[in-house]
Amino acid sequence: MLRTLAAIVAAAGLACAAAPAAEQTHTIPPEVTVAGLLVGGLSAEPARTAIEAAFARPITVVYGNRQSTIDPAQLRARIDIDAALGSALTATPRSAIALPVAYSQARAARVVAALAQRVDRPALAPRVTGATAAGPEFTPAKPGLAVDVQAMQAALGQLLGDGTRAPLQLLTRPVPAQRTIANFGPVIVVTRATNTLRLYDGHKLVRTFPVATGQAIYPTPAGVWRIKDKQRDPWWYPPTYDAWAKGLKPVPPGPSNPLGTRWMGLNAPGVGIHGTDAPTSIGYSASHGCIRMHVPDAEWLFEHVRVGTPVVIL
């Protein structure tokens, strides 16, 4: 009887030793997320696969009706998935685990610069379109647009660690126009009917001068022009294309120079604002198309305008 019991016990022990132990699978606690992805209830390898797949998805940058995609590989991005999984497996339920991400700041800067090249637009300064008796008329200044480079680089870094890959709205900032109507600077308005020249600072009238404008046969050209060159003590050269100047010779600087002491040439061919050696012509339509001024007036105006100053001739 004792032998039989001992044999039974021994046999049972051998049977227990021979049976394989049940496998224990370690899963992530419930409702744990990594980089916004729900991985609770998954074991390590399925969670790894899900996280890697989410990380590999491109980032979508949206601006208006346009969008661009950025592959994480463009930024040389890499993740420490082992660290994230280790934290997830030991986390308490409903924990949110961050995904450690490293990437190339230089690559991110190049990617953002490429976006900026497509999106940036400069501010538009006002432009003189004409004039009335009240003064010059302008188009309004328009602000430009620029990608906020630093904010976009930071946003890309943050989004790399977000497995949900929500679209990223392009971060921009307005670029104000440096030149406005208020600080536009000098504008000249010449009125042929009254033989006057008015100098404005934007909309503000600065000074009015009597001038001589072109004869009926040689009219001063109406339109919006600009000063293209300025000369002190200029030479006068007879225009080769006008019959009235045939046979005349160049005149050096001096009291008999038809241009006086200052020349402000316009981009209207052959036309300029200048002094004169014929002051009695001022106030009349007497020139060959240019705008004559008293010599002291031309010298004063010369100091208050610049190359590029708009000239409206009415």
Domain positions in the chain are: 186-313
Pick from 16-30, 74-88, 233-247 the range whose average pLDDT is largest.
74-88
Residue 208 — pLDDT band, cuts 50, 70, 90?
very high
pLDDT of 4 reads 42
Whether residue 250 contacts residue 237, with contact meaning beta carbons closer than 8 Å, is answered with yes
Residue 290 bears catalytic tag: yes
**Single-letter amino acid, residue 33:** T
185 alpha carbon, distance to own chain's centre: 24
Q: Are strands 310-313 and 186-191 parallel, antiparallel or unpaired?
A: parallel
Mean pLDDT of 200-204: 97
Q: How many CB atoms are located within 10 Å of the residue 288 CB?
A: 18
Closest CA relative to residue 277, chosen from 228, 236, 232? 236
Q: How many CB atoms are located within 10 Å of the residue 156 CB?
A: 24
Residue 288 bears catalytic tag: no
pLDDT in tens, 290-305: 999 999 999 999 999 9
Distance CA 138, CA 81 (A): 60
pLDDT of 7 reads 45
pLDDT at 6 over 80: no
Rg (the chain; Cα; Å): 41
Active-site entry in 26, 203, 274, 288: 274
Active-site entry in 203, 290, 294, 304: 290
pLDDT at 17 over 70: no
**Average pLDDT across the chain, whole number:** 90
pLDDT of 246 reads 78
pLDDT at 156 over 80: yes
- Domain 186-313, CATH among 3.30.450.70, 2.40.440.10, 3.40.50.1370, 3.90.1150.10: 2.40.440.10
H-run or E-run covering 155: helix 149-160
Predicted TM-score (pTM) of the model is: 0.73
Phi, psi dihedrals of residue 59, rounded to the nearest 5°: -90, 130
pLDDT of 248 reads 84
Residue 25 — pLDDT band, cuts 50, 70, 90?
low
